[in-house]
Structure 1
Amino acid sequence: MSDDFVLDVTRIRDEARRKMDAGPVTGTYGVDKERVVGILNDVIATEVVCWLRYTRHAISATGIDRAQVTAEFTEHAAQEMQHAMRAAERVSQLGGEPDFDPATLVRRAHTDYTTPSPNDLTTMLEHNLLAERIVISTYQEIVRWLSDRDPTTRRLLESILEEEEEHADDLLDLIGS
């Protein structure tokens, strides 16, 4: 049995011409596009809630270690909003509508929005570490589900996942300090 790879460029060109209005979604897209859009919209909600939580904690933190913790929360908040924007761009590429509806963000998010006492930096760090661990687990599951059926979305989530793991490591370091 031969595993020779043959690429039928003529067929691919013809199909691409016939389905121009489908944008980047081709006949070789291997997963339910609407399901991926829904999952990505939940990712957007999760990232926005994380941005809100980190931002709230950065602004309200008090105490002797405030400067260091606030700097970390502020950096993480900016990255969380970038994650939401990248997921929203992918939703748009797939022909969907990014869902930033404030009325449903908390319900759709994988994590919680918490408001511990401003002088309890340890609890803030722990709440954010817990959220990062939840995000890491949920994004790993999404990546496994996507497998090779949507490599673009999978790579997007893998790159976000890498930053979320860095966040968890940063938070763990601060808790240990």
Structure 2
Amino acid sequence: MSTKQPAKHHDPIDVKAIREGARNLDNGAVPSGYQGNREEIIEMLNAALATELVCVMRYKRHYYTATGIFNEPIKAEFLEHAQQEADHADLIAERIVQLNGEPDFNPSTLTDRSHAEYDDSSDIKSMIKANLIAERVAIESYRQMIERIGDTDPTTKHMLIGIMAVEEEHADDMKDLLEGNG
């Protein structure tokens, strides 16, 4: 005895309405069906941008100021992370523009808007610890942003998930380095 489910009926896609909505060019690259709270998402993304920029500067400072032949592999890790954080900042700035916003690169308010803190430690263990803490801050910030955005903006959500995955790798790298420098 077969219990065949009736086929679900879906409304056809309203191509005419899609085309008409796409003609409204006031909202930038995102069409009229966009469901996210554009202003709130741009504000969150600008905070994430500030966080990434502060992380670039922190990792760069640590790269240039870490000394000693035994710290060369750690310095290389700091430099790689700085470059990846810069890539994240670029992705975020591009998304802000796609949402018809303006990325905020204002250096005078950068540290106030950043979730992570800058660090000017001079010893390698303190540098690693500061970077691990900053990565953990970034991960939790991204998790909360992803939760808040939900399914209203899939593009931003997926971008943030990808960035968060790299931040988790960075945190794992710093944890491993910290344990190796205990």
- Indicate whether the TM-score tops 0.5: yes
* Mapping of residues 70-81 of structure 1, within 5 Å: 70-81=75-86
- For 1:60 and 1:36, locate their aligned partners in 2 and report how far apart those are by CA, in whole Å: 36
- 1:12-43, CA deviations, whole angstroms, 9 ceiling, x for partnerless residues? 112222x1332322222112211111111111
Instruction: Give the percent of matched residue pairs that are identical in Structure 1 and Structure 2.
Output: 45
- Deviation by residue 1:77-114 (Cα, 9 ceiling, x = unmatched): 00111111110001111111110000000000001101
Kindly indicate whether residue 24 of structure 2 is the aligned counterpart of residue 24 of structure 1.
Answer: no
SS of 1:148's partner is coil
2:130 to 123, 127, 132: 127
**In structure 2, distance between residues paired with 1:80 and 1:8:** 41
Aligned partners of 1:63, 1:103: CA distance in 2, in Å? 33
Q: Deviations over 1:36-79 (max 9, x none)?
A: 11111111100000000000000000235310110000000001
Q: Which amino acid is the alignment partner of residue 166 of structure 2? A: E
SS in 2 for 1:95: coil
Amino acid at match of 1:61: A
Determine the structure 2 residue equivalent to 1:39.
44
The TM-score with structure 2 as length reference comes to 0.90
RMSD of equivalent CA atoms = 1.5
Q: Equivalent residue for 2:174? A: 171
Aligned ranges 1:6-155 → 2 under 5 Å: 6=11, 7-17=13-23, 19-117=24-122, 120-155=123-158
Deviations 1:127-173 (A, max 9, x none): 00000000000100100111110011111111110110110111111
Distance across 1 between alignment mates of 2:7 and 2:140: 40
When Rg is computed on C-alpha atoms for both structures, the one with the higher figure is 2
Measure, in 2, the Cα distance between the counterparts of 1:30 and 1:165. 29
1:2–1:108: structure 2 CA closer, same or farther, 3 Å change rule? Answer: farther
Q: Which amino acid aligns with 1:99?
A: D
Runs (4+) off by over 4 Å: none
Pairs aligned (count)? 174
Which runs of 5 or more structure 2 residues have no equivalent in the other structure?
A: 1-5
